[in-house]
Each structure stands twice: as structure tokens, then as C-alpha cells.
Structure 1
């Protein structure tokens, strides 16, 4: 413990000697702790301020190093000075000319836990690379908590689905690698196209969502729906829900008897009208026949009299 404390004190003294400026004038904002998924990547948000005038990026050199040993570099523009275990795995995502020192570590290893600190080097002129002002922000470093496996996604949905009506399921994962967003797949066919949302929760922690909307059918009752998230480095995690389908309201037991009753009444009414018309026609015919016979009898009676 005393040895570590002495090492830290030595680093602070060296940084103070290397820098002609006062620490209050140089400030860095670095997230203190981040989860890092092994085989994936992690992005460390970082910004800094300085008392100098606006400086061009060509005069600035950004370096990331171990807090305990400032000469063990995990990132530098000169790759030959970087530790072999970090070569080709780190890059500066931020623009130093805009005071952004954000670092990305890819293919995360178990030994990448840190702590890691940022150092800025300022060349007096663009051609004078040897003489530099230096300042290490050893009070603002990041430590990584290594994750061997990603956490399961959370699924948000209604308890029951209704047949024939839209049903929405939201699959959510958190991560610390916005440069390589997790990819989602669903166990349903590709005809259902999910919507994806990616947002920052707080400094260094991101949330990715896949929102699936589909129309459940009778065959979906008691079926399983699985959401799988694939992280950079091919680590996967999934969550499954079981669909319980509520049948759509069916009024056939009311509609069919009513329709049959109405149909029967219409048919009966048509038959009644037809029979009434036929009956009236028959009465008229009989009346005509009776009138004709009476006329004949009258004529015969008149002849007999004459």
C-alpha cells in the first residue's frame, strides 16, 4: 500500500515538473468508472480545458497512460511507444483541437481494467516537436469494470396480446460502446421490421432499443418470442417471452340468429304479399264470372217474356 502511495506521489511530482502551468488552470472531465465487455469495445468520454488560446490540433499530442506508471502508454500518436498489449486496440475518437480527448479501446481484454489517465503535450510551434509543455490529469482517470458476459435484455410488453390488433414489444440493452452499437434479431419472420433507438443515458453509458410491432394471429397463442442482442466481438445475450393471446370479440352467436330471423320474416312477408295479391285477383275473377252469368240470365229472362 505504501509503495503504491509513493508511486502516485512520484507521478504527481513528475507531472508538476513537466508542466509549467498551475493545475487549477488545466482541467479534465473523465468518467470515473465504466463497464467494459470482454471482446467488445469501450468508449471513455473525455474533455479538457486549458489556459492557452485556441490551439490547432497540429500542435497538440494526446496520450493515455496507466495511472500508476505514466511511462506505460496505452495510446499515443506514435504507436511504437505504446505497450504491446494495447497496440492496434486504442484510438482517439475526440478532436484535440476541440478539447475532446475521448478514447476507444477495442477487443477488450481482462487486463484492461486501468486506471488510465490522459496527458496533453503542447508543441511550442508546429515545427518544434521536441520542446513541449506537458500536463497529466492524474486526478481524473477512468477505471474499467470487466464483464465476461453481457446482461440479459429487458423486455417491455403488455401481459396479453389481442388477436388482430397491433402488439408492441420493446427490447432494451445497455452498453459502453457507442462506436459499435449492438445489433438486434427477433425470432419472428423478417416481415416485421423493428424500429431501433440509441440514446445516451448518462456520461459513458448508452441504451439501445429494438421496438417490434406486429399483428398477432390465432397461431401465435402460447408461442415464444425471443429478442437477441449481438455485441461487438460477437458476444450475445437474449430474452424470451411467452405470448398469451386474447381472442377478438366474436358476435356471430348474436348476428347469425338475428340474420336468420330477419331473413325468415322477409320471406314470410313476401309470401303473404304474394298470397294476398293472388287472393284478390281470384276474387276479382270470380266477381267478373258472377257478373257475366247474371247478365246472361237477365238476357234469357227478357227473351222468355217477349
Structure 2
């Protein structure tokens, strides 16, 4: 009888110990240091890109309110973003921001004025007052920078007949959700747009539509759209090349804001750009007619 009691007591001890182990394991798993971000994102040169990011930490039922978020390029090589902006590396000064709230576990990073030098892996670090600091170095996002955007694609689903309204769609790829491309058509009509869900590692897609009623004059006419992306911010007194992103054309013309012809090539070269540089426009000319971008001012960062 005594042996049976000892056996039951021993079994109860190990059962309690096992229960305690399982409880500790669940508690640690529920509040561990972890982060979610895509393995890669793609951005357009001169535009912006957003790295979606969420993180968790072992709060253990406590509430913390003071967070310091830090993003690095490579393995601590450059400080891409810091809550204390004075600690951001010169190469990223004025170009980065968080799109979410660290108190809501959102560490998403926005990088503006992308260039080819921005390619590479990026990682996030959190510093929580009265708790701890942690670098999520097992979760890195690789950024790829495309130099030129893809040519917009126009499609019309239904058969086009006169007197019957028709809707055309212009598919435009971009990388900056806060600054969508401006689309223009070579035909009058009613405009609308709809952004599509983003696939990780791919450019974003926005569909622009044009609804109009064809007439006899539209017979055999070429319907096209052009996308204008925000011009990148450049440092004053630098040389800048700008490209006309209108539909494929036989010739091009560049004009200053007062109508002076500046050039006639697809790409126009500007010397010693400054904040005094005038707005300009490009016009694409083909057998169907011509299309102008309208005057655009270049954003210049003075240093």
C-alpha cells in the first residue's frame, strides 16, 4: 500500500512538471521575438518602394509605449532609418520613413528617390524601453531597383462599335503606393482607376480605365495611354537625364515652360540642375498624331 502511494505521488509530480513545461513553452511561443516581411521587393528608379513589416516581442502581459525603430542596409553597414533622424546615414537622409506605428507592431519602411545603389538586403531592429533590444537579422528583405518602367498596356474587352459606349483599360506597373503614376489618354472620355493587390517581390499594378462612345471619326485610330511617374528628387548642380514616357513614337520634342524647343531625342540631358531649373514638357509624335506630358517641374534638393 505504501509503495502504491509513493508511485501515485511520483506520477502526480511528473504530470505537474510536464504541465508546467508545456505552459512555459506556449507562453514563450506566444510572445517571442519574430518579424514578418517579404524576402524581396521591386522598386522603380526615382520612385519609392515600401517594405511591409510587422513584428512581435515577449510583452508578458505588460504594456510598453516607448519604441525606437531602426532599419539597416546589409549587416549594420548603413543606418537606413532611425527614430532619431540624426543617426540616419547620409545616403538615406530625408529619403526614409515608417508608414505605420511601432506601437501597433507595424515596422513598414518607405524608401523614396530610389537609385541603383539602394539594392541589397535590409533588416529591422527594435529597441523597447524597460524591456530589451532585438535585431531581426534572420528576416531580411532584398530590394531590386528597375531603371525603367514597363510600357503601359492598353486592352479593350468588348467589340467596339459606333454609338455604343466602350471601356478601355490601361495597365500600369509602379512601386510607390503613395504617389500613383499620372495617366493620360489620346482620347476624351470618363476616367477611373483601381489598384490591384500586390504580389510580394513584384511591381504594383493599377488599372486605369477610359469610357467613351466611339464615332465614325475613330475608325482605324490608334488608342493609347501614357504614364507619367513622379520625377525623382535630385541634388542641385548635378547632371540629370530625363526620358519621355509617352507611347512609342517616331520623334520627340522637349519644350521649356515658355515654349522654347530644348531637344528632339527620346532622352534629354540637363546640365547643372538647380531649384531655378524651369519646368519642361515632352511631346511624342507618331503617325496617329502627338501626345504631350504637359509642363512638369523637377524637385531639386539643395545642399
Scaled by the length of structure 2, the TM-score of the pair is: 0.63
SS at 1:111 equivalent: helix
CA distance in 1, matches of 2:161, 2:174: 33
Q: Which residue of 1 aligns with 2:16?
A: none
Alignment of 1:106-255 (within 5 A): 106-124=112-130, 133-158=132-157, 160-189=159-188, 192-203=189-200, 205-233=203-231, 237-238=245-246
How large is the RMSD of aligned CA atoms in angstroms?
2.5
Structure in which a larger fraction of residues adopt strand: 2
CA distance in 2, matches of 1:239, 1:168: 19
In the alignment, structure 1 residue 44 sits paired with structure 2 residue 51? yes
- TM-superposed CA distance for 1:36, in Å, is 1.1
Greater CA drift, 155-164 or 100-109: 155-164
Distance of aligned partners of 1:154 and 1:93 in 2 relative to their CA distance in 1, 3 Å threshold: same
Structure 1 pair 86/55, CA: closer, same or farther in 2 (3 Å)?
Answer: farther
Is the 8 Å Cα contact of residues 155 and 239 (structure 1) preserved in structure 2? Answer: no
State the 1:75 CA deviation: 0.3
Contiguous gaps of at least 5 residues in structure 2:
1-27, 233-242, 249-303
Provide closer, same or farther for how the CA distance between residues 239 and 158 of structure 1 changes in structure 2, counting only shifts above 3 A: farther
Contact 2:158 2:166 in 1 (8 A): no
What is the alpha-carbon distance in structure 1 between the residues aligned to residue 62 and residue 223 of structure 2?
54
The Cα shift of 1:233 comes to 2.6
Deviation at 1:196, TM superposition (A): 0.9
What's the CA shift for 1:41? 0.4
Residue matched to 1:65: 72
Equivalence for 1:96: 102
Structure with higher RCO (Cα < 8 A, 6+ apart): 1
Unaligned runs of 5+ in 1: 1-20, 125-131, 241-306
Cα deviation, residue 64, structure 1: 0.2
Check the 8 A contact 1:228/1:236 in 2, yes or no.
Answer: no
Distance 2:246 2:185 in 1: 10
